[in-house]
Structure 1
Amino acid sequence: MKRIKSAIFAVAMGSAIGAYAEPIKVGIALDISGPFSALGTEARDGFNLAIEKLGGKLGGQPAEFLQADYAGNPQQATELVNRYLQRDKITFFTGPIPSNAALAVGPALFAAKVPFISSNPGPSQYAGKQCNPYFFGQYQNDTYDEAAGKIANEKGYKNVVLIAPNYPAGKDHLNGFKRLYKGALKDEIYTKVGQIDYAAEIARIRALKPDAVFFFLPGAMGINFIKQYVGGGLKEIPLIAPGFSADQDVIQAVGEPMLGLLNTAHWAHDLPVPANKEFVSAFRKKYDGRTPSVYAAMAYDSIMAMDAAVRDAGGKTDNREALVKALAKPSFKSVRGEFAYGVNHYPVQNYYLRVVDKDASGKLANKLVGTVLEKHQDAYVGECTR
């Protein structure tokens, strides 16, 4: 596995070296190849923007940000984490996109008392019975879809077809939708992770004639599904999705067929929050005018959370309990606005409705519509008894 480094990631020079014997080390698992590569690229860019903003430091101390691609493979993720723990002696870990990778690497990190600040996955297991003080989520998988289920009710969709990849996040997302949706389910379809041909699934949907289709198919999976769905003549059956299936990476790749698609998220690029406005402006400036996705926003927040925790723990990074305590009471200005952690270290926060529309320049982008769920807590917190 290739380790990806840059001068910006290893800032431990001059007088700073004299003050601190070793830089704080952060292990980052990147998905820049494999089935989640588009999402991993977004996350990488969010990480790097935050690292640049902080001058390569955490809490004012020199830091080294170790980045390696594990190609979306849980076994490779486990091997990478073991190297980070044994060779590099990391203080923090973040990075992987899919929930199966998060579930694979969690036990080793928790045993080593290394805080795992998730930059995306929010598996139900870590929210409930397997909750751990060293895991911090950005959202819980089901919550995006609970918001989508509520929207489906409000739109009067009396019956729907659900579709998602057959892996932990796919099951969580469909369970979330079903939790708040009050209509009938015509079918629940699970596909292969990384699947790109949806002819059989689209034929099935066409025969069922639902009022709407709810789909969780992130990255290239969603891109191919939407293109084939519209190309297959199903445009009149509305699509509704969690934001991961209708974010900037998908919009740019699909184009006009995305227009009008409703999706839910805990963040939007036009959310009127000062920290968010600063983030979006800086991201566009650094990356040639590109609008960030939710993956970039969460990656950015992950680094900012580490920075605040080191500062709030008085720089005592060897005191892991102090770091966890600091992480649990975040003092940084999040791009999502104010939030708090539940006992399971998953956020209590707002979830929003977005619609794919054209901006003032005529480009397709998500537009914030309004709040769907306010200060919402995940459904599994009651099972967390640590």
Structure 2
Amino acid sequence: MNRRALLGTAAAATFSGAMPGLVRAQAPGIKVGFVATLSGAGAALGTQLRDGWLLAVKHLDGKLGGLPAETLVIDDELKPDVAVTKVRAALERDKVNVVAGLVYSNILQAVFRPVTESGTFLISANAGPSTFAGRGCNPLFFTTSYQNDQVHATMGQVAQDEGYKRVFVMVPNYQAGKDAAAGFKSRFKGEVVDEIYVPLTQLDFSTELAKIAAAKPDAIFTFMPGALGVNLVRQYRQAGLASTPFLSSFTVDESTLPAQGEAALGFYTAANWAPDFPNEVSRRFVRDFEAAYGYVPGTYAAQAYDAAMLVDDGVKQAGGRLADKAALRAAMEKPGFTSVRGNFRMGANHYPVQDFYLCKVAKRPDGKLATETVRKVLSEDTDPYAAECRMR
């Protein structure tokens, strides 16, 4: 199916990375500026995010909350300054009603103030830094993903449950990487034998792998999204380290598995959703996503799907009154849609309260690689910063 067709009765989306808004809505409706990393090392993640959102709009017959929906896709290029310039154009020129998407925390942090200070709702479908979960929470900001620490804390609990005593930690040197290390250590009570922070653009891990081999830990914990994860997994296997348990978050998932191939088999990840979830909403999402795009959806796509459903539900509850910000906020604080995750509700800081799982990379009967649920690790988990939020 042609991706443009997935916009249904919406107007057009800009896929090329050009400035958004080149195609104007033909009738009053809701206009969304959808920000995703669609070029460079993070493009696979942004593609998942975008496609998940567009499938939801397709399932909603091209509408959000009953209003004709126009999605203006913005490529942030993984550059905060570029993201700010393009988002300001979407706000000031195109008059978008909502800004959504956002793969990386540094991009979210860059656009946060321009969006919220303009009085526009900001819906993150992936980035969930601690910055906006506690004292920095905002009535116009919601996320359908998690607070960054939570997924990593899940893997910390796994390491604790497995009885590992010594773990090697390696993450990228930016906010989400710092949150990852903090999250893991919040539940793992053993010894962190080394804690390494690498550049977000690093692709050669030979030095770090030599340190892992020398340290001989019981396991490693890593968070390496996109191309970082592709290279790390391949090099980890090539270095003969696969006998050391590979515990990760956002390193082996549906966005990276096509490039990692069988090098990722048997490696573990923590997640709030996996493609094998048995509920009917998830099954329909996975089935239709694969039919439309030809690849297996991951959490990025699932969270973006839920982001569209959150907006749809909020606008619907508010009677389509986009100018009634108080009504929209109240509706999104108590969402009535059924998530692909099943168990899901919004916390007081506008971050979800949800379950988290241990998953493992496996080969499906059709030969495709995907993550499969091993067991539930945390139930109805609230992020550790929520108590600090004093929502105005």
Task: Give CA-to-partner distance per residue, 1:225-255, whole Å, 9 cap, x none.
Answer: 111111112112111011x111012222112
Task: Give CA-to-partner distance per residue, 1:139-178, whole Å, 9 cap, x none.
Answer: 1100001110011112221101111110000100110000
- Please report how far the alpha carbon of residue 6 of structure 1 lies from its aligned counterpart in structure 2 after TM superposition: 7.0
Change (3 A) 1:7 1:87: farther
1:216 aligns with 2:223: yes
* Equivalent residue number for residue 59 of structure 2: 53
Taking the aligned partners of 2:171 and 2:33, their CA distance within structure 1 comes to 30
Taking the aligned partners of 1:296 and 1:173, their CA distance within structure 2 comes to 21
Which amino acid is 2:177 matched to?
G
SS at match of 1:187: strand
* Equivalent residue number for residue 377 of structure 1: 382
Task: Give the alignment of 1:261-300 within 5 angstroms.
Answer: 261-288=267-294, 290-300=295-305
1:199 aligns with 2:206: yes
Match of 2:248 among 231, 241, 245: 241
* Equivalent residue number for residue 361 of structure 1: 366
RMSD over equivalenced CA pairs, Å: 1.8
SS at match of 2:41: coil
Q: Which moved more, 1:63-72 or 1:217-226?
A: 63-72
Taking the aligned partners of 2:363 and 2:225, their CA distance within structure 1 comes to 22
- Please report how far the alpha carbon of residue 342 of structure 1 lies from its aligned counterpart in structure 2 after TM superposition: 1.4
Which amino acid is 2:333 matched to?
A
* Residue ranges of structure 2 left out of the alignment (5+ in a row): 12-25
Task: Give CA-to-partner distance per residue, 1:109-151, whole Å, 9 cap, x none.
Answer: 1112211111100000100110111111221100001110011
* Residue ranges of structure 1 left out of the alignment (5+ in a row): 13-19
Give the TM-score taking structure 1 as reference length.
Answer: 0.93
Q: How many residues align?
A: 375
SS at match of 1:245: coil
Match of 1:161 among 165, 168, 174: 168
SS at match of 1:48: helix
- Please report how far the alpha carbon of residue 23 of structure 1 lies from its aligned counterpart in structure 2 after TM superposition: 2.1
SS at match of 1:374: strand
Taking the aligned partners of 1:70 and 1:325, their CA distance within structure 2 comes to 30
Task: Give the alignment of 1:32-47 within 5 angstroms.
Answer: 32-47=38-53
Taking the aligned partners of 1:357 and 1:272, their CA distance within structure 2 comes to 17
User: Contact 2:79–2:107 (CA<8 Å) still a contact in 1?
Assistant: yes
* Equivalent residue number for residue 116 of structure 1: 122
User: Contact 1:35–1:193 (CA<8 Å) still a contact in 2?
Assistant: no
1:28 aligns with 2:34: yes
Task: Give CA-to-partner distance per residue, 1:6-43, whole Å, 9 cap, x none.
Answer: 7937637xxxxxxx962211011121102311101111
1:229 aligns with 2:205: no
Which amino acid is 2:37 matched to?
D
* Equivalent residue number for residue 16 of structure 1: none
User: Contact 1:167–1:193 (CA<8 Å) still a contact in 2?
Assistant: yes
- Please report how far the alpha carbon of residue 257 of structure 1 lies from its aligned counterpart in structure 2 after TM superposition: 2.0
Give the TM-score taking structure 2 as reference length.
Answer: 0.92
Taking the aligned partners of 1:350 and 1:296, their CA distance within structure 2 comes to 18
Taking the aligned partners of 1:299 and 1:363, their CA distance within structure 2 comes to 22
SS at match of 1:248: coil
Aligned-pair identity (%): 44
User: Contact 2:9–2:61 (CA<8 Å) still a contact in 1?
Assistant: no
SS at match of 1:210: coil
Which amino acid is 2:78 matched to?
G
Taking the aligned partners of 2:4 and 2:274, their CA distance within structure 1 comes to 30
User: Contact 1:259–1:357 (CA<8 Å) still a contact in 2?
Assistant: yes
Task: Give CA-to-partner distance per residue, 1:172-194, whole Å, 9 cap, x none.
Answer: 01100000001100010000012
* Equivalent residue number for residue 320 of structure 1: 325
1:11 aligns with 2:18: no
- Please report how far the alpha carbon of residue 345 of structure 1 lies from its aligned counterpart in structure 2 after TM superposition: 0.6
Taking the aligned partners of 2:210 and 2:283, their CA distance within structure 1 comes to 43
Taking the aligned partners of 1:34 and 1:85, their CA distance within structure 2 comes to 25
* Equivalent residue number for residue 252 of structure 1: 258
Taking the aligned partners of 1:237 and 1:49, their CA distance within structure 2 comes to 39
